[in-house]
Amino acid sequence: MERPVTNRSARGKFVGWGELKKSEGEAVAEKLLRICHAIQPGLDYVRMGKLRAVTGEGELVALGRKTDPLGLAVVRTAPRFVCEKFMDAFVEAMGARTVSEAEFVGMIRTLNGLASKWSKRTLVLPVSSSDWERIQILLEHGFRLRRSLLRMMYRERAVSRRTVNTSFWAM
């Protein structure tokens, strides 16, 4: 799903991976990894997010205070291929521990502000079609369907609706 980026500053608390000192980064990474494991045991968006930040392809963002992050987002901000135009802030993965609708909307607003800071035109957020509640929230806040993909889904256990897991890979 996508929506145009509005020209606003990032609201809410967040910290980008590049802003952290090495010792802080290790502590924050451990907290973000716990969020990933709460969503699905063994899930690790942190490693890929660090890679995006280090290579300059994007950013790993801890949403909330760095001492107590609410969630994380891995956002691609650079093209995959040379000479490709890339005007999206593409949220490759976003995870959060138990959040209310207001907290989820706050996370989206923070990402919108960051996308504006990065001079992006659109904020793109992949969401599973099985997460109807999350889709409704996004539609109410100006998102529209950009495209759909059919992917296989792992369903050994029921998906927890208390956590947020929007990911390009987990759709």
> Domain residue spans in the chain?
2-167
Residue pLDDT, tens place only, 83-121: 667 899 999 999 998 788 999 999 999 999 999 999 999
Mean pLDDT within 9-20: 80
3-state percent helix, strand, coil for the chain, nearest multiple of 5: 35, 25, 45
| Confidence check: pLDDT of 170 > 60 | no
| Confidence check: pLDDT of 79 > 60 | yes
* Average pLDDT value for the chain: 84
Residue pLDDT, tens place only, 137-147: 999 999 998 87
Mean pLDDT within 29-50: 91
CB neighbours of residue 16 within 10 Å: 15
| Confidence check: pLDDT of 167 > 80 | no
pLDDT at 162: 65
Query: Cβ(141)–Cβ(1) under 8 Å?
Result: no
Is residue 168 classed exposed, middle or buried when 0-12, 13-18 and 19+ CB atoms within 10 A define those classes? middle
- The pTM of the full predicted model, rounded to 2 decimals, is 0.83
Share of the chain above pLDDT 90, in %: 43
Fold of 2-167: Aminopeptidase (3.40.630)
- Pick the range with the lowest mean pLDDT from 41-50, 79-88, 153-162: 153-162
The closest alpha carbon to 115, from 9, 1, 14, 16, belongs to 9
Q: State the DSSP string of 113-163.
A: HHHHHTT-SEEE----TT-HHHHHHHHHTT-B-----------SSPPPTTS
Band (46; pLDDT cuts 50, 70, 90): very high
